[in-house]
Amino acid sequence: MLTELKDRYDPKKLLDCIVGMEELGQQIHVSSINGKRYSFASGDLTQYKLDQNDFTIVNELFKGTYAEEVYNDLNEKYNVCRGRYMTLDESFRGYSYHYDLTDRIHIPLITNEDALFIVNDKIFKMPEIGNTYQLHTTNKHTAMNLGKTPRIHFTVCLKASAVMQQYYARMTQ
C-alpha cells in the first residue's frame, strides 16, 4: 500500500518555492494544462472534465526553480503528471475516502506524528521529510492531519495508461 522509494530531495528548497503563495489554497499546482493555472476548487478533475495526464506543463511561477527540477527528475524516472503542493492543517484536516486513477508519489516537506493515510482501512505514515513514497491510491484511501502543525507534501501522479483512461472515462460518465 505504501512503498518507500530511493529518491531523496531537499525539503527546504522545495518549501522555498512556495513562499508567499499560501493564498492559492490547499493544493498549489506545479504543473497544469496551460502552464498558468495554480489551483482548483476541488481535487476531483472530473468535475472540470479534465484529464490528469494533460497536467504536464510546468507553471510559470515554478519555471527555473527547484520544484521544476524535482518535477522533471520524477517525470524522467516515473513518467508523472499533475505536480502539486498539498497542505493539510487546522483549516482543512482531510479528504473523503476515495479511489484515484493512478498511484501518487509523495515527498513529505513538513509533517507530524498525527499526519496519516488510511488505505483499505490500514494506517500508514510518511515520517521522513525529503524521502519519496509511492502511495497505492488506486485502493480506497484518504489523508488526514490530526496534529496541531501543518502537513505539506510535494506530490505527483503517475500517468494513466490509455486503457485506464478509457475505463475511467466510462466510469465517470
pTM of the complete model beyond 0.85: yes
- Indicate the CATH number of 2-171 among 3.40.50.300, 1.25.40.10, 3.30.420.480, 2.60.120.10: 2.60.120.10
pLDDT-based confidence at residue 49 (cuts at 50, 70, 90): confident
d(CA 37, CA 39): 6
Among the listed residues 105, 101, 112, the one whose alpha carbon sits nearest the alpha carbon of residue 152 = 112
Taking only the tens place, the pLDDT of each residue in 112-130 is 999 999 999 999 999 999 9
C-beta of residue 68 within 8 angstroms of C-beta of residue 30: yes
Alpha-carbon torsion, ordered 95, 96, 101, 107, to 10 deg: 20
Phi and psi torsions of 97, nearest 5°: -80, 115
C-beta of residue 106 within 8 angstroms of C-beta of residue 173: no
> Domain coordinates of the chain in residue numbers?
2-171
